[in-house]
Amino acid sequence: MITHKINVPELSKSIKNLKIGDRVLLSGTVYTARDAAHKRIFAMLESGEKLPFEIKNAAIYYAGPTPTPDNLAIGSCGPTTSSRMDPYTTKLLDLGLKCIIGKGNRSDEVCQSLKRNGAVYLCAIGGCGALYATCIKSSRVIAFDDLGCESVKELVLEDFPLIVGVDSNGDSLFNKKLK
């Protein structure tokens, strides 16, 4: 396995080099969004409203952080189960989303959409939320504050450790045996 050190703005150029099982240390701006936020984002798309962040070339992390302690930028920030976002993912990828981060398997439809759109699914490890919080340098709510932990947050990451779960060829870590 290879370890790639990538900044979010360089993702588009780096995606083709990422293969399932590779490690990624991701730095840069990502956005949190879970079930409730995805529902609202889709309502905004349907009504023609401007979204809270630019989808094209963005990275979304399926996370709902805990309250922020005094010594960190954010509380524990582990991944949530990605398959719950499958009904929304294909359309967001078609709109230019380049990276999704979460845990667990993705549907065949999402894997094919990742391939069609030259995007990548990176896996975070469940139970490591406290570790991940130390890799988040800043956090601010940018939309849906009333959703609490499920609000959309802009996070700035530094060397956030991830594993390529589905690469831009549509190959899934969950369906392949690694050599």
Q: Which of 34, 38, 98, 153 is catalytic?
A: 38
What's phi and psi for 161, nearest 5 deg?
Answer: -80, 125
Give yes or no: 4 in active site: no
pLDDT at residue 179 tops 60: no
As a whole number, the mean pLDDT across the chain is 95
Is residue 120 classed as helix, strand or coil in its secondary structure?
strand
Amino acid at site 90? T
Q: Where are the domains of the chain?
A: 3-18+25-166
Amino acid 175: pLDDT: 86
Residue, of 101 and 69, whose pLDDT is higher: 101
**Euclidean distance between CA atoms 116 and 93, whole angstroms:** 9
pLDDT confidence bin for 178, thresholds 50/70/90: low
Per the CB < 8 A criterion, the answer to whether 116 and 158 are in contact is no
Confidence at residue 39, expressed as pLDDT on a 0 to 100 scale: 97
**Ranges of H-type helices in 21-176:** 35-47, 86-94, 108-117, 129-133
- Tell me if 33 sits within 8 A of 53, measured CB to CB: no
Q: What is the mean pLDDT of residues 53-72?
A: 94
- What pTM was estimated for this model as a whole? 0.95
The Cα–Cα gap between 90 and 114 comes to: 8
Q: What is the mean pLDDT of residues 55-79?
A: 94
Q: Which CATH class is domain 3-18+25-166?
A: alpha beta
Are the CB atoms for 151 and 37 separated by under 8 Å? yes
What mean pLDDT comes out for the span 8-24?
96
| pLDDT at residue 71 greater than cutoff 90 | no
